Amino acid sequence: MTKRFPEGFLWGGAIAANQAEGAYNVDGRGLVQTDVTTGGSVDKPRYATFVDKDGNPGKLPSMGHTAKLPEGATFAILEDEYYPNHEAVDFYHRYKEDIKLFAEMGYSVFRLSISWARIFPNGDDKEPNQAGLDFYRSVFEECRKYGIEPLVSIWHFDTPLALEEAYGGWTNRKLIDFYVTYAETIFKEYKDLVKYWLTFNEINNTVMFLDMFGDKATDQDYQEAYQHLHHQFVASARAVKIGHDINPDFQFGNMICGITFYPGTCDPKDILENQHKWEQNIFYCSDVQAKGRYGSYAKRLWKEHRVELEITEQDKQDLLAGTIDMYTFSYYMSSVVTTHQFDDTASGNFSIGAKNPYLTYSDWGWAHDPMGLQYYLEKIYDRYELPMMVVENGLGAFDTVEEDGSIHDSYRIDYHRAHIQAMAEAIENGVDLIAYTTWGCIDLVSAGTGEMRKRYGFIYVDKDDAGNGTFERTPKDSFYWYKQVIASNGEILE
Ligand code: BG6
């Protein structure tokens, strides 16, 4: 029998500004990292492009916001390169049509992010950009028209590029003030339109990157990454505090890239290694954001790489005063941790580990593990006892458009059905889960590879990896399936 979802459970979907909006140079928007990032594929990295100090073009493998420029170089858009995020799927001009389709599916929540560079094009501007403020007001009003609750990420991998260049990005403490000014501006502006806010998307990616680099990451890399994160923690906490003062009804979530880590064997060394993996990759960030202080193991993590963090007394007070109201996370897959030799490697979504013989894998190598979602929900709820939201979950897959224009994505339906069942089990086991927003509810540009063909949506967008297409929207089979899931509050999953 299908387990029940609580009344008022929020069903919907999620996108991010830089992956969906396009219109990268419209209405006063400043540039962000993805505007200088090329397309890639599962085995070809995306590149960040630049011009060096002598004016020569160059590119370096981009890991989103962590690409480091050579001395004297500046990020640049090069003429003979293709940048998939420039147009993305043109949500900027088509949001009314898209939100109407979301409403047709029955959404009660829609997660999107505000592009900081639309509001403060350079990040440190004295005044906000009115056109940017107007755009999001109109988007939120459109949501409200259909009774859809906006769930807003304040930052989704898109610090204004000008802040990266002028201040060196988040390793610089000044970024805290710029972020807080931006957050305060949008809280005041949208205080009657938005209730749910997420401070930093997948904040733990910064440590997960280090983990993926393995021995290639130097102590200096660790020093910078942990200081960068500390600044984001303080920025998040100060924003939460200010937000609660502006509107006590505001609910704030962190946003963790949720990966369930399993020990590869019952060798105690694997069990301990796995525990330490959870501490570094998952708890390091969420303990600070949920409890207002670093976990006891943090000192060990810093010591291992001779990290000396600058943490002021004021920072400590800020962290305590700005803890989150709900634990929100993305979930796509699990990963295996072992100290033993292994032949098959599996990687995806900022993690790398041994292949799990009990699971199947997507075309992009991501493990398919719905039970891992149940495990994650129960483990985390037990630790923090905060309301939880699954704010990203989905299957990146190739879709085929049939001659009559239909798209039969039964594989995507199977993926979501299994994850919804896992959520129901977790709820049955006491977890206070309040929302589910599937990732890429409409096809968008992949963050990791820059591809369009890695599709997550219930709505197909006619655009290919070279940017060709009409951008026309077509509901897939999953669209009608999800509509029924929502109408039955998760009871009809067939
Ligand atoms: C999450 C991000 O890591 O995973 C999204 O928050 C991203 O921005 C999603 O799109 C899926 O990853 P990818 O690389 O398949 O787009």
Angle, CA 471 vertex, CA 469 and CA 476 arms, to 5°: 105
Ligand 1 touching residue 202 (CB < 6 A): yes
Instruction: Identify the CATH number of the domain defined by range 10-33+86-487.
Output: 3.20.20.80
More reliable by pLDDT, 342 or 96: 96
Atom of ligand 1 nearest to the CA of 202: 6
CA 65 to centroid of ligand 1, rounded, Å: 13
CA 300 to centroid of ligand 1, rounded, Å: 30
Identify the pLDDT of residue 216. Answer: 83
The DSSP bridge pattern shows strands 47-51 and 74-75 to be antiparallel
Identify the pLDDT of residue 483. Answer: 98
Atom of ligand 1 nearest to the CA of 349: 3
**DSSP code per residue over 192-205:** TT--EEESSTTTTH
Digit-coded pLDDT (tens) for 408-452: 999 999 999 999 999 999 999 999 999 999 999 999 999 999 999
Ligand 1 touching residue 447 (CB < 6 A): yes
Digit-coded pLDDT (tens) for 157-195: 999 999 999 999 999 999 999 999 999 999 999 999 999
| CA nearest neighbour of 137 among 203, 201, 190 | 190
Ligand 1 touching residue 336 (CB < 6 A): no
Is residue 2 predicted with pLDDT exceeding 80? no
pTM above 0.85, yes or no: yes
Segments of 188-303 assigned E as strands: 196-198, 251-253, 256-263
- For residue 193, give both structure tokens: 């339109």
Is residue 350 predicted with pLDDT exceeding 90? no
pLDDT bucket at 331, cuts 50 / 70 / 90: very high
**DSSP code per residue over 408-453:** --HHHHHHHHHHHHHHHHHHHTT--EEEEEEETSB----TTT--SS
Ligand 1 touching residue 205 (CB < 6 A): no
| 455 SS3 class | strand
| CA nearest neighbour of 419 among 456, 465, 448, 447 | 456
Identify the pLDDT of residue 64. Answer: 44
Is residue 282 predicted with pLDDT exceeding 60? yes
- For residue 75, give both structure tokens: 């990020």
Q: Can you tell me the distance from the alpha carbon of 58 to that of 38, in angstroms, rounded to the nearest whole number?
A: 12
Q: Can you tell me the distance from the alpha carbon of 313 to that of 315, in angstroms, rounded to the nearest whole number?
A: 5
Q: What number of other Cβ atoms are within 10 A of residue 280's Cβ?
A: 20
Length of the chain: 494
CA 447 to centroid of ligand 1, rounded, Å: 5
Ligand 1 touching residue 49 (CB < 6 A): no
